[in-house]
Amino acid sequence: MKPGSFYTNSMKKLEKIFVKKGFKYTQVERKGEFAIYKQESAKIKDSKANYEVVQIKSHNGYEIGGSKIAAAEVYPGSTQWGILGWTHLDLPSAEKRFKKLIRGSN
């Protein structure tokens, strides 16, 4: 690592609870790079929840437009859906995929 570099060994972990694009995400379970997040409307109380099974990726930090972005874990984007992320309508089916992904990574 270069002296004065903003790249560090401390990586920002993906939050256990976060809000994005009108949805609240709450981590249900995580093992290594795989996690289940409960997805519900951030605006509509008592809305039906979905469950997202994701493979969490990371980057080592970078600079863009003069702004330094620290190393961090990232949630899959919409273009990665079906590859790194899957939506399930109930927790049991999400848990089934989660366990299958964990078995396949060992």
33-63 tens-digit pLDDT:
999 999 999 988 888 999 999 999 998 888 9
Where are the extended beta strands (E) located within the chain? 17-20, 23-31, 34-41, 50-55, 57-59, 62-64, 67-69, 72-74, 85-88
Please work out, in degrees rounded to the nearest 5, the angle formed at the alpha carbon of residue 78 by the alpha carbons of 74 and 84: 60
Q: Which letter does DSSP use for residue 44 in this model?
A: S
Between these two residues, 68 and 87, which has the higher pLDDT value?
87
pLDDT score recorded for residue 4: 42
Nearest-angstrom CA–CA distance, 96 and 91 = 9
Matching residue, tokens 């995400």: 25
